[in-house]
Structure 1
Amino acid sequence: MKIGIAAAHRQRIKRHVRRGWKILNEWANVKGSAANAAERAVLHAWRAAGIPDAVPASDMPQGGQTETAPLDLVDLAETRRIVESALASFKTQPNPQEAAGRQITWR
């Protein structure tokens, strides 16, 4: 599984899809700091649980290997809950100066 942030133009997503990744969830119109916080929260939870990166850098020339975890070691529902919880903390603090982004989870 991979978690990551991609801009609305979706070029990063297209590169991942071409390499066999599938989109499992997408949160649209998420502002930059909220997307970053959600990604950090998921990565922190995975690493705190001792879950390693799933793929080596050589298998992801487009980057992002540090944002992966073996699908058999992570719980998709729990990962969604972590993202939703992190995003909820930003809903009351919008920042119109930030560029819109997308929070993406791939498999």
Structure 2
Amino acid sequence: MTAITYVITHPGYRAVKLGYTGAESDRIEQLARHGWQSFRRLSLVSSRLAWEVEQAALFQIRHRLYIPPYLTSGQMPSGGWTETASLSLIDAREAWEIVLEEAAAAHLAAQLGRPKPRRRIPVPPRRTAGDTPKFAAVARVEAARTARSAQVGAQSKPLPKRRGARNRNAARELAVEQAVITVKNPSTEEQK
């Protein structure tokens, strides 16, 4: 039985998704009905291998590149929202290269006769509809800022400084001005 590890994109959400499915499954067509476009597919010999490649690629994206899940369960009614990422943080080509690297590593491990160590991956707690991961809001803001600057053609505005920083900077500038004044106007004792 063969299986597929795939990379798909959604231009409306500006998102990329990794996944795996059986060769006979209509999962990719089901996602296409929701606006997802197929980028690349990799046929593998078993669903277990396809799952391992997907999980290894997601590990690289989440824990090596620090890219959080992008969409919520409400935006993905057919499931798979935890396997999404923002296109402003990683594009489909980069995600595909990671999938290929992990597939090559899995194939090489099988050729060497040393199976990959199986780790029990903890299942994250069940989230409710509309609930988002900790850093997904930051990723969405950054993606919106990138999209807005691409449309306008201008640089995005820098983030505002913290409230107290203005007072500290003003105090530093005042201290520098006072030091300059004392150097320019030596005391009367020095002039005698």
TM bracket, shorter-chain basis: 0.7 to 0.9
Per-residue deviation, 1:88: 1.5
Alignment counterpart, residue 69 of structure 2, candidates 50, 53, 75: 53
Q: Report the number of matched residues.
A: 94
More strand by share: 1
Alignment counterpart, residue 49 of structure 2, candidates 34, 59, 64: 34
Structure 1 match to 2:19:
4
Give the TM-score taking structure 1 as reference length: 0.75
Per-residue deviation, 1:41: 1.9
Q: Could you say what secondary structure the match of 1:47 adopts?
A: helix
Residue 121 of structure 2 corresponds to residue 90 of structure 1: no
Structure 2 match to 1:97:
none
Q: Give matches, 1:56-67, under 5 Å.
A: 56-67=72-83
Deviates further, 24-33 or 14-23: 24-33
Write the distance in 2 (CA, Å) between the matches of 1:27 and 1:15: 18
Give unpaired runs (5+ residues) of structure 2: 1-15, 112-192
Deviates further, 81-90 or 49-58: 81-90
Deviates further, 77-86 or 57-66: 77-86
Paired residues of 1:38 and 1:87 also in contact (CA < 8 A): yes
Give unpaired runs (5+ residues) of structure 1: 95-107
Per-residue deviation, 1:40: 1.2
Structure 1 residues 71 and 30, CA gap change in structure 2 (3 angstroms): farther
Q: Tell me the amino acid that sits aligned with residue 78 of structure 1.
A: E
Q: Tell me the amino acid that sits aligned with residue 26 of structure 2.
A: Q
- Identity, in percent, stands at 33
Give the TM-score taking structure 2 as reference length: 0.44
Per-residue deviation, 1:6: 1.1
Per-residue deviation, 1:42: 1.8
Tell me which structure has the larger Cα radius of gyration.
Answer: 2
Per-residue deviation, 1:64: 0.1
Q: Tell me the amino acid that sits aligned with residue 77 of structure 2.
A: P
